[in-house]
Chain A
Amino acid sequence: QVQLVQSGAEVKKPGASVRVSCKASGYTFSTYAIHWVRQAPGQGLEWMGWISTDTGKTGYSQKFQGKVILTSDTSATTAYMEVRSLKSEDTAVYYCARGPPFDPWGQGTLVTVSS
């Protein structure tokens, strides 16, 4: 079945970077884009950006432009999201999702930023 499996939880210090992976299976990886969505504790969903797994083209929400870098490795059927210059307010669960529409979703990766 179509599945996205994300890497495990991370704890980072302010100013550090974090990379989250999203391993796809059950379909031809390059035929769908991968989107990334953030959910801060107790808050709603926030669309961050997307990557074409075919061409590598990316698009970002203005809020995350320059803060986030999206990449993908077709041979590994894996998409990656790097968040730079982490601050406490970046503490959140980060999801990847195939799309559009966003289906399915990965299980989410909790990134905690704390000194």
Chain B
Amino acid sequence: DAGVIQSPRHEVTEMGQEVTLRCKPISGHNSLFWYRQTMMRGLELLIYFNNNVPIDDSGMPEDRFSAKMPNASFSTLKIQPSEPRDSAVYFCASTPDAPLRLYGYTFGSGTRLTVV
């Protein structure tokens, strides 16, 4: 089991550019979560999917952020246009489609985004 795979590990981009972060959940996991972590705000839940359908995107900061899950093995988080305040570590997590009490989340290693 390769775990949750995120790419790229590091991304440096200029303000105004489009950024796409990628996540491959663990095979068989039906729920997928995107988190953002900064020193000031800690870990924030941005959006989560169940069976490829967005269930709750109330944590998405603004219209510049969008997330998709075209199939069970792939999800993207896109920022367009990017701004320096988007600099953070972005984590993807997945869990089987079961009550939370049975399974914990498995997190990826994260993508460190720097917008200059």
A, B: real partners: no
Residues of A that sit less than 8 Å from B by CB: none
Residues of B that sit less than 8 Å from A by CB: none
